Every structure is written in structure tokens, then in C-alpha cells.
């Protein structure tokens, strides 16, 4: 019998004997005879190979997507309510999930007790932060009272189990007489039931000869300069790079409604941008007619980029709404009150 390993036949067949060829073929893949005898086994093997290839491809694709996301730092959510937590997580593109509710007398209902991942950990965008909430105890959150009438503020305090504390009055160009200007402690503060909350209430516009500092926050700095020139107030300003539209006031000193004496100085921090010029910013101004109930005001901007909502809020009669925008090309502002189109005006270049 011939030994296949010692075969040295025709070079055209690779120098291998027939037995050796069959042996190698069986290692490379199933023979035609094997496929004929066991077709289902061959199909199962082919399906398994395809499944493995698909899984590997998915792994590489998903891995690429995950690693393309930015790394962000998880903020500290302990003691905060869900609304505040979502405001912190949203800009970081992180999600929130409630895992459990637990009784804790040191935190008010709805306050976050624990979080996973913990604060300060670096994670990828898209990560879900799991939290445990308090079901309540011997403390609660201070409700929002600023911008309400004194009567409504008292009702909210009573409903929350709190008591009206010291009440002071001051003139205001921002709030009508009888409306709350300030509150102490601030909204969202944690206090015990039965605690007192102090309020400052508006007496309305000041008498003639008294100058109060207007509120220029998020308004064009040009308006502040013109007001200061007319009122004889000295102005100083600095600029800071900001995502806000350029030319808008970021902060001011003195605070709004502060009485101004002689030789008063107003200081402003103004936004600047590397992409948009301050001259391109326009102001949409609308005064809500007096004698009406509280209304929903909505402002829509139409320009070369299409139509987009730039403002929506509940406002009182006589309030003034001012919105700064940076339109592209020919633009128009559409003003809706309680869902009804009240006015449409062009924004002149």
C-alpha cells in the first residue's frame, strides 16, 4: 500500500496524493458528500457563522457610537427636587430615572436622597442617573411667591404649612402695587413646617423725583446706556463671552428697583460673542393691555431660517414683554395672546 506522505507525483496537482487532498479539504470545509448527507447541519453552521459576524459588527458599531459621545461630570443632585435635577442634567445630555421612594424626615417630599452614579464621576453623554426620592418627613420646600399677589402668596403659604413672617413694602417699577417683589427664604429652600417666610411687597411706582434702578437683565445694553444718559447716571461696563446673544446685559449693579441718589453709578456685565455682532440683535417689545386677566403670551419669529418660537409665558395686564433676537435676513415677529394672533410686525434692519 502506498504511503500518501511519500507521494511525489505530477507537479500539476500540487505534489500531493489524492488521500492528502481529501484530508486537507475536510479541514477547510464540508465536502459535497457531507453536505448531501447532512444538509441541516451545514445550514446550522452557516447560520451560526452569520450570527457571529452580525454580533461582532453590531458590537463595533455600538462601541463606536458610545465612544463618540462626550465625557461629562455627573452633578450633585442630593437634596434637589426632580425639576431642578432635570435642569442640571439636560444640558449635559444625561437622563434621570426614579428607582425608589424612601421615608426620610430630614428631606422634604420629592427631594433626592441618593444617586447612581455619584456626583463627580465622569460618564458618557446619554447615561441614565438613577435616584432615590424622599417620601417626606419634618421638612419641606419653600414655594414660589415672587410675582404673585399678597393674597395668593398667603394662600400658598397656608397650603404648604408655612406662616407669613415680616412684611415690608417698597416702590417698584417692575411690580404692581400689592404684588410680591422678594421672599426670604428663597424659593426651593428647605425649612420645617410652621416656619415663617418674609415678603417684600410693591407699593407701585415711586413718587415724582424718585429714581429707581430699572431691570436691564437680558435686555440690550444700548437701552441701559440711553436710560443712564437721560437719568444722569454714570455707566461702567465690562464684556464677557457668553452663549447669550451679544450686547445683552448679563448682570447689573444696583439691583432692579434700588433707589438711586445723586451721582449714582450703574455697572453692567455685557455678553459678547465671536459669531454674532451686537448690531444684529433686535428687540421685540409688546405691552399687554390693561384691564385684562392674566394671559398667555407667545412670540414667534419668522426669518430666512424659517419659523421658531422665541417666547412663551403667562403675564399680567399692563406687563411689558421684551425679547432679544438675532434674525437672519428679512424677519417678522408674530405675537399671540391666549392663542390668538394679535399683531404681526416687521423687524427693520
> What is the rounded CA–CA span in Å between residue 130 and residue 94?
11
Residues in CB range of 199: below 8 A, 6 or more apart: 145, 150, 153, 164, 165, 166, 167, 168, 180, 182, 183, 184
Domains in the chain, number: 6
**Other Cβ atoms within 10 Å of 322 Cβ, number:** 16
Q: Find out whether 117 and 74 touch, Cβ atoms under 8 Å.
A: yes
Are 216 and 193 in the same domain? no
Residue 235 · residue 223 · CB < 8 Å: no
Final residue in a domain of this structure, among 67, 91, 123: 67
Based on the fold, state whether residues 227 and 268 are members of the same structural domain: yes
CA 188, chain centre distance (Å): 18
Q: Are residues 121 and 79 in the same domain?
A: yes
Helix (H) or strand (E) segment spanning residue 28: helix 18-28
H helices within 69-169, ranges in order? Answer: 82-89, 150-160
Domain boundary among 80, 113, 134: 134
Residues 97, 130: one domain? yes
The answer to whether the predicted template modeling score (pTM) of the entire model surpasses 0.85 is no
pLDDT of residue 114: 92
Residues 94 and 113 in one domain: yes
pLDDT at 53: 66
**Tens place of pLDDT per residue across the chain (349 aa):** 444 444 444 444 444 455 554 554 445 455 555 545 656 655 666 666 666 666 665 656 655 555 568 889 999 999 999 889 998 998 899 999 999 888 787 888 889 999 999 999 999 999 999 999 988 767 888 999 998 899 999 999 999 889 999 999 999 988 889 999 999 999 988 888 889 999 999 999 999 888 999 999 988 888 899 999 999 999 999 998 877 788 889 999 999 999 998 889 999 999 887 666 666 788 888 888 876 677 889 999 999 888 989 888 888 777 788 888 888 888 999 999 989 999 999 987 6
- CATH number for position 294: 2.60.40.2560
Cβ neighbours, 10 Å, residue 206: 15
Nearest to 281 by CA among 251, 245, 250, 249: 245
Looking at residue 68, what is its pLDDT? Answer: 66
Range of the domain at 342: 281-347
**Cell triple for residue 157?**
403659604
CATH code, domain with 108: 3.30.10.20
Q: Which residue, of 45, 67, 89, is where some domain finishes?
A: 67
The reply to whether 195 and 218 lie within a common domain is no
CA pair distance 250, 242, nearest whole angstrom: 9
- Do the beta carbons of residue 88 and residue 75 sit within 8 Å? yes
Same domain, 25 and 35: no
Amino acid at each position: 500500500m502506498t504511503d500518501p506522505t511519500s507521494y511525489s507525483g505530477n507537479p500539476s496537482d500540487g505534489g500531493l496524493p489524492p488521500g492528502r487532498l481529501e484530508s486537507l479539504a475536510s479541514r477547510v470545509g464540508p465536502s459535497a458528500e457531507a453536505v448531501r448527507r447532512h444538509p441541516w447541519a451545514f445550514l446550522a453552521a452557516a447560520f451560526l457563522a452569520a450570527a457571529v459576524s452580525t454580533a461582532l459588527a453590531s458590537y463595533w458599531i455600538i462601541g463606536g457610537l458610545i465612544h463618540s459621545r462626550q465625557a461629562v461630570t455627573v452633578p450633585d443632585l442630593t437634596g434637589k427636587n426632580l425639576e431642578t435635577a432635570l435642569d442640571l442634567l439636560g444640558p449635559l445630555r444625561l437622563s434621570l430615572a426614579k428607582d425608589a421612594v424612601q421615608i426620610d424626615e430630614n428631606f422634604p417630599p420629592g427631594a433626592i436622597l441618593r444617586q447612581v452614579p455619584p456626583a463627580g464621576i465622569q460618564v458618557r453623554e446619554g447615561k441614565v442617573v438613577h435616584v432615590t426620592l424622599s417620601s417626606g418627613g419634618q421638612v419641606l420646600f419653600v414655594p414660589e411667591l415672587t410675582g404673585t399677589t399678597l393674597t395668593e402668596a398667603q394662600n400658598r403659604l397656608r397650603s404648604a404649612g408655612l406662616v407669613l413672617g415680616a412684611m415690608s413694602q417698597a416702590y417698584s417699577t417692575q411690580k404692581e402695587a400689592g404684588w410680591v417683589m422678594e421672599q426670604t427664604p428663597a424659593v426651593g429652600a428647605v425649612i420645617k413646617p410652621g416656619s415663617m417666610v418674609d415678603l417684600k411687597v410693591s407699593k407701585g411706582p415711586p413718587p415724582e423725583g424718585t429714581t429707581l434702578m430699572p431691570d436691564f437683565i437680558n435686555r440690550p445694553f444700548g437701552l441701559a446706556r440711553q436710560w443712564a444718559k437721560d437719568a444722569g447716571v454714570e455707566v461702567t461696563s465690562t464684556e464677557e463671552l457668553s452663549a447669550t446673544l451679544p450686547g445683552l446685559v448679563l448682570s447689573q449693579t444696583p439691583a432692579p428697583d434700588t433707589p438711586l441718589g445723586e451721582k449714582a453709578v450703574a455697572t453692567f456685565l455685557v455678553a459678547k460673542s465671536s459669531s454674532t455682532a451686537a448690531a444684529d440683535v433686535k428687540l421685540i417689545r409688546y405691552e399687554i393691555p390693561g384691564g385684562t386677566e392674566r394671559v398667555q403670551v407667545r412670540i414667534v419669529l419668522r426669518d430666512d431660517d424659517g419659523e421658531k418660537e422665541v417666547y412663551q409665558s403667562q403675564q399680567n395686564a399692563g406687563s411689558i414683554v421684551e425679547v432679544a433676537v438675532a434674525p437672519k435676513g428679512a424677519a417678522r415677529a408674530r405675537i399671540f395672546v391666549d392663542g390668538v394672533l394679535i399683531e404681526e410686525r416687521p423687524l427693520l434692519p
